[in-house]
Amino acid sequence: MKKPLLTILSCLAVTTALAHQQTGDDRVDYRQGAYKIMGWHMGILGDMARGETAFDLDRAREAARHLQWAERLTATTYTPDTKQAHKSRLLPRAWRDMDAFADRGKALKNEIDALESDLEAGNEGAARQRIGEVGKACKACHDDFREKMKH
Ligand code: HEC
């Protein structure tokens, strides 16, 4: 049987990935990717909360699920091998006060869980307000533990 070119190419890509030792910098890439995913879905929710796009419960539920998943991914990336990663914008004070940092993460998780409950209940008004609370939980952590971003 003839192998399609795509299969061969993807096998090559997998082999290359396996041959490459994962470093702290790679993990920071992964972390930043997960945060970008959160940013994307917050964008969708924020537009709905502000009434810039129609409020759609199914779309909002899907966005909330992606937020929850991406939050779980970021939480696994704060390993010591990322401490020296140059591209990371995590402020060093987070390592000195990991409990406070982790609390910010928990606060976000709680708001996302609450948003999911509001959406399950079909309560649009509560969900709109809750999206604001989720946004505040993002900002609270960024204010304390992330370098200022230029863009
Ligand atoms: C517990 C702390 C914390 C919470 C909560 C948090 N963030 Fe972040 N966020 C960070 C840190 C730290 C970085 C920088 C990560 C790095 O560079 O190593 C970051 C980076 C980002 C970035 C930039 C990614 C890149 O490099 O391009 C975006 C976008 C982002 N966060 C969005 C969000 C959104 C949206 C939420 C809420 C839904 C959120 N964050 C909640 C700590 C947090």
Determine if ligand 1 sits within 6 Å of the CB of residue 43: no
pLDDT for 109: 98
**How much is the pTM?**
0.89
Q: Is the CB of 89 under 6 A from ligand 1?
A: yes
Q: Which residues contact 122 (CB under 8 A, 6 or more apart)?
A: 57
Instruction: Give the residue, by CA position, lying nearest to ligand 1 atom 2.
Output: 141
Could you give the domains of the chain?
25-79+88-145 (1.20.120.10)
Closest listed residue to residue 42, CA positions, set 120, 151, 50: 50
**Does the beta carbon of 39 lie inside 6 Å of ligand 1?**
yes
- What is the DSSP secondary-structure string of 70-135? HHHHHHTT--GGGTT-TT--B-THHHHTHHHHHHHHHHHHHHHHHHHHHHHTT-HHHHHHHHHHHH
Tell me what pLDDT residue 87 has. Answer: 94
Q: Is 141 in the pocket of ligand 1 (CB under 6 A)?
A: yes
3-class state of residue 55 by DSSP: coil
Mean pLDDT by runs of 10 across the 151 residues of the chain is 62 64 95 98 98 97 98 96 95 96 98 98 98 98 92 57
For residue 20, the model assigns a pLDDT of 75
Q: What is the pLDDT of residue 117?
A: 98
